[in-house]
Structure 1
Amino acid sequence: MTGRFALTRRLPPGYFAQALHDDALKGLTAEPKTLPPKWFYDGRGSELFERITELPEYYPTRAEHEILRARATEIAARTGAGTLVELGSGSSRKTRLLLDALSAHGTLRRYAALDVSAEALQEAGDALRIDYPELRIDAVVTDLDTDPFLPPSDGSPRLAAFLGGTLGNYDTEARPAFYAALRERLDEGDALLLGADLVKDPGVLVRAYDDAQGVTAEFNKNVLRVLNRELGADFDPAAFDHRAVWNAEEERIEMRLRSRRAQTVALPALNLSTGFEEGEELLTEISCKFRRGPLVAELERGGFGVRRWWTDPAGDFALLLAVPV
């Protein structure tokens, strides 16, 4: 027996192609040049990120997994969730700790996975429906930046999980809108489980985003390969160096690609040529790091009351349980 699995596409045909056109045109004509990190994640990019999570330097995945192992039973008891909603689910690996705990608690009926990648959702869903035959699995292809969708309540509490420290990809100006959209869609009795990477030794942070094996460098340069394939661009990835920089003022890691020489890149699909000076940098990702007091206050302003705050023993990463207020 296998569980019920449904894959729904909420985005119109051609959505991602148009979004990539818009983001590339806006970002590559800006000063300084930028690209959103979601364009890392084609098939190759997703594989590289899975490798990153296993690297010795990359602590966030291990730290969050450690917290979930220790606290999943308590989370299940406190939320009594009938539906687990995962925002940006990817491979759904860590989700199994929550699925197991909520199943053991006797409340879980549905798992809703939201992600931009239909392929990742299908692969995860195929595995989960075998391992959780009594579970209803609803996978939804959506872009949380433009379509902050949550499946409607079936009358039981929902637990929305936003894990992996992905909150850090939203800067100080963008996070309030994210909280507001999420708060609007949650009901009394629902809860939010939020992963947040914490401020720590900059050396530890930089190494986590610039590993000795160069996997993160390949991941960073993958965005150039995406632009080459999808927009007919002629980026030479070897003409750029990967950099991970700690921005102390903003308390965030910035991933950048630095041009090794003066060069001009053509993007025929955009009818655009863009120039890079030697040493000019393209910002490809931010990863904000958090402190407890400011983050709790930020969530309160966004309509959430933090009820529990857990960290791994090293204090590197936090998992927060919050409720709409």
Structure 2
Amino acid sequence: MKSKWLSSLIKMLSVGGAFLLAGCEDMVLMNPKGPIGEGEKSLILTATWLMLLVVIPVIIMTIAFAWRYRASNTKATYKPKWDHSTAVEATVWSIPLVIVAILAVLTWKTSHELDPYKALESDKKPLTVQVVALDWKWLFIYPEQKIATVNELVIPTHTPVEFRITSGTVMNSFFIPQLGGQIYAMAGMSTKLHLQADEAGTYDGISANYSGAGFSDMKFQAVAKASDEDFNAWVAEVKAGNNALDDTAYQALLKPTEKHPVEYFAAVKPQMYEQIVRSFMHGGHKADEHHEGMHEMAEEMGAEE
């Protein structure tokens, strides 16, 4: 009876822990569709099990001790002078130390394996996508294909994707939970993230860093095409359009909008991404009047000092 009760308790705690760690109503973190997501899922579960090795025994012993040493149990031995046990001390210190040591090795190993700047091993040439966080939408530039999209990311399956990420406004965070990884988008800087989709499908992409009034609707769809042919066909469809991402179009995108519809650009001004990054640097091209005003304000403050 005791064994059955203990087994049920362990199962309940494990399932409950998994739900809490998932953090999403459909447990997307526990349903990865790429190698980075799989690695992160494995790390989460391994760390959880290791911690439960301490948590579960503590819960069980708390309940067992309270029951055994209740006031009505006359068979329990009362030792008011007891203050030390070598066996207890060895147990309560050695087990946590072993777990911390295992977690340290695991953290070191996975920190290098899942480094967002580390390119994924593959026989296929990586696809480069330049990501720009705006208010409150995502701009995706495909430099090799010379196209761009807003709030829709399309990639081929089984192909490594190298994301280069920046912001045209405040700091944000780029995150596709089922593919794994999360990296900040910061103005004047270019960060990197390497991901891959191993299954065709549509995955939710989100902003994981609060950035103002439209933050909650700053979402996009990441569409993984089943083959390179399907991806190339989509590129051809976008190229058949008339819109071009030039300075004028970018100025329009800089204006804050909420629930911005998916938008396609059949052509992109050369070095547009680099221009956006440089727009926040001293002496660089000013992306808009707001950025120019910020530079002037900084110079005035410096002159006053």
Q: Which category of TM-score, normalised to the shorter sequence, fits these structures? A: under 0.3
TM score, norm. by length of structure 2: 0.24
Query: Which protein has greater RCO, CA pairs closer than 8 Å, 6+ apart?
Result: 1
More strand by share: 1
- Per the normalisation by structure 1, the TM-score is 0.23
Q: Which has the larger radius of gyration?
A: 2
